[in-house]
A and B are shown apart, each in its own frame.
Chain A
């Protein structure tokens, strides 16, 4: 039998607390998505700059 004595006391997690947790997670996910989007866009811009520079040199 697994020892469940260390499991979190889920009875303390009221529906309101769980809802707030979900909202925090959603905001965090949006933040991470924005960061990923920024990295992607900046990478494309940098690549384009490098390509233009190389084309200008050749």
Chain B
């Protein structure tokens, strides 16, 4: 961009006039998804064997949140074409032209850089490396490659969403051990039933924009089977903290109830007829969010009450 001199000040000759407000830029970071990232990363941080200073913990969580927001902004930049067509996403800042695609890209890249460097400098390099990998995996591997090319997009791409507790653990302990890998596995196996429930409801929109979600490529019946199978696998994996001895009775009882409800919702969806399918899928989708929050909340509660 050329520049002209006015007095001592350099002024861009072709100013970019985004009409987006600060709230629009914050919405680029998907604050609701960010809250789940902060929560799971916080649990990873809390469950780690090393106690770290609260200020370092705040710094770590802030940078992990910023990194998650940055990858969301990069996702919105790349997906602006399909977001503009889908009802669920067409009011987002980029497709509705409140923020230009270039600004969203610049915002995402800057926030990525800042979050990775600051996490490395303020906390440790292992957590920064994991954050960099997570952003790369979500923005490049999932958004640019898998999402539009395979029905396994959210299965493989789910790895990015499963990494925050591992980053939190690494921030506290500067290492990765079995416990954070189990946290990773829980979120990894939770992701398919969660997103396929949504994909069942929104499949017409995904079909319109050519995103090969499982219900479109393999049909509803196959998707319902997969949801049921993944729900059972998730239930098994969710007991791993008890099996490996780092969670106790409180976790065991709560997670048993949660798993019964999850499998119950999955089975209800499986048996619901065409007329009730979207209704049942909506319930499974909503409950799955509660399930993950409750399961991860149980880990520190069990640790605190179990030690009393």
Contacts and interface: CB of A to CB of B under 8 A. Distances in A.
Interface of A: 2-4, 6-8, 12-13, 17, 20, 23-24, 26-27, 34-35, 38-39, 41-42, 45, 49
A13 B256 CA distance: 59
A39 B62 CA distance: 12
A-B pairs with the 8 shortest C-beta distances?
A27-B22, A6-B13, A6-B4, A8-B15, A42-B122, A41-B55, A45-B53, A45-B55
B96 interface: no
B229 interface: no
Interface string B19-37: 1111001100000000000
Nearest to B111: A31
Given A7-B11, A35-B118, A38-B62, A24 B22 contact: yes
B2 interface: yes
Prevailing SS type, chain B contact patch: mixed
Contact of A42 (B14, B26, B56): B56
Which of B15, B22, B62, B114 lies at the interface centre, i.e. has the most chain A CB atoms within 10 A of its CB?
B22
Contacts of B114: 35
A58 to B, nearest CB: 22
Contacts of A39: 118, 122
Given A6-B4, A35-B118, A24 B17 contact: no
Contacts, number: 53
Interface residues of B, number: 24
B292 interface: no
Contacts of A13: 17
A23 B21 contact: yes
Given A6-B2, A8-B12, A20 B56 contact: no
Interface string B34-74: 00000000000000000001011011001000000000000
Contacts of B62: 34, 38
22 contacts: A3-B4, A6-B4, A7-B4, A7-B11, A7-B13, A8-B13, A8-B14, A13-B17, A20-B19, A20-B20, A20-B21, A20-B22, A24-B20, A24-B21, A27-B22, A27-B25, A27-B26, A38-B122, A41-B59, A45-B55, A45-B56, A49-B53
A27 B107 CA distance: 14
Nearest to A16: B19
B6 interface: yes
A24 B15 contact: no
Interface in B108-122: 114, 118, 122
Which of A7, A24, A26, A42 lies at the interface centre, i.e. has the most chain B CB atoms within 10 A of its CB?
A42
B19 A17 contact: yes
Contacts of B20: 20, 24
Contacts of A7: 4, 6, 11, 13
Contact of A17 (B17, B22, B56): B17
B11 A8 contact: yes
A13 B17 CA distance: 8
Given A17-B17, A17-B19, 14 more contacts: A2-B6, A6-B4, A7-B4, A20-B21, A23-B21, A24-B20, A24-B21, A26-B22, A27-B22, A35-B114, A35-B118, A39-B118, A41-B55, A45-B56
